[in-house]
Amino acid sequence: MTKLDDHTRRDLEALLPLIEKTFPIPPRFRRGLGNDVAELSRLLTSARGERALAYLNRPPLLSAYLYYFLPWNLYRLCRLIPSLDLPLAPGDTIIDLGSGPLSFPIGLWLCRRDLRAVPLKFRCLDHSRGALEAGKKLFAALYSAAQPAPRPAGAAAPQGEPDCPWAITTIHGDLGQFHSHMREAALVTALNLYNELSQPISPGNDAGQRRFADKQAALLSGFAAGGGRLLVVEPGTPPSGRFITLLREALIGQGRPPLAPCTHSLPCPFPALRPPAAGRDTKWCHFAFDTEDAPAGLHRLSAAAGIPKERATLSFLLAGPQGPGQPKHGGPQSPAEQKARIVRVISSPFPARADGQAWGRYACGEQGMVLLRGAKTAVEAAEPGTLLAVRSTGERDPKSGAPVVTAP
Ligand X SMILES: C[S@@+](CC[C@H](N)C(=O)[O-])C[C@H]1O[C@@H](n2cnc3c(N)ncnc32)[C@H](O)[C@@H]1O
Q: Which residues bind ligand X (CB under 6 A)?
A: 56, 70, 73, 98-100, 103, 125-128, 131, 174-175, 191-193, 196-197
Query: What single letter denotes the amino acid at residue 357?
Result: Q
* Residue nearer to ligand X on the CB measure, 197 or 266: 197
Taking the C-alpha atoms of residue 210 and residue 216, their distance in angstroms, rounded to an integer, is 10
* Residue nearer to ligand X on the CB measure, 49 or 150: 49
* Residue nearer to ligand X on the CB measure, 28 or 179: 179
For the CB of residue 175, give the shortest distance to ligand X in the complex, in Å. Answer: 4
Burial class (CB in 10 A: 0-12, 13-18, 19+), 153: exposed
Q: Which helix (H) or strand (E) holds 120?
A: strand 120-126
Residue among 79, 82, 322, 76 nearest 186 (CA): 322
For the CB of residue 322, give the shortest distance to ligand X in the complex, in Å. Answer: 24
The answer to whether the beta carbons of residues 310 and 348 sit under 8 Å apart is no
Question: What are the Cα distances from residue 48, in Å, to 45, 204, 284, 402?
Answer: 6, 17, 22, 36
For the CB of residue 97, give the shortest distance to ligand X in the complex, in Å. Answer: 7
The Cβ of residue 182 has, within 10 Å, a number of other Cβ atoms equal to 8
* Residue nearer to ligand X on the CB measure, 126 or 249: 126
The Cβ of residue 107 has, within 10 Å, a number of other Cβ atoms equal to 25
For the CB of residue 44, give the shortest distance to ligand X in the complex, in Å. Answer: 7
Taking the C-alpha atoms of residue 315 and residue 285, their distance in angstroms, rounded to an integer, is 6
* Residue nearer to ligand X on the CB measure, 175 or 342: 175
The Cβ of residue 273 has, within 10 Å, a number of other Cβ atoms equal to 14
Contacts for 358 with CB less than 8 Å, ≥ 6 apart? 351, 352, 373, 374, 375
For the CB of residue 104, give the shortest distance to ligand X in the complex, in Å. Answer: 7
For 326, which DSSP code? S
For the CB of residue 164, give the shortest distance to ligand X in the complex, in Å. Answer: 21
* Residue nearer to ligand X on the CB measure, 53 or 375: 53
Tell me the chain's radius of gyration from C-alpha atoms.
22
Residue among 180, 56, 53, 82 nearest 123 (CA): 180
The Cβ of residue 79 has, within 10 Å, a number of other Cβ atoms equal to 25
For the CB of residue 126, give the shortest distance to ligand X in the complex, in Å. Answer: 5
Strand partners, 369: 364
* Residue nearer to ligand X on the CB measure, 66 or 268: 66
Beta-sheet strands, E only, within 235-352: 258-260, 287-290, 311-319, 340-345, 350-351
* Residue nearer to ligand X on the CB measure, 56 or 213: 56
* Residue nearer to ligand X on the CB measure, 199 or 205: 199
Rounded (10°) angle between helices 70-80 and 6-22? 160
For the CB of residue 348, give the shortest distance to ligand X in the complex, in Å. Answer: 24
* Residue nearer to ligand X on the CB measure, 135 or 261: 135
* Residue nearer to ligand X on the CB measure, 100 or 349: 100
For the CB of residue 235, give the shortest distance to ligand X in the complex, in Å. Answer: 9
For the CB of residue 76, give the shortest distance to ligand X in the complex, in Å. Answer: 9
Residue nearest to ligand X (CB): 100
The answer to whether the beta carbons of residues 113 and 18 sit under 8 Å apart is no
For the CB of residue 81, give the shortest distance to ligand X in the complex, in Å. Answer: 13
Burial class (CB in 10 A: 0-12, 13-18, 19+), 64: buried
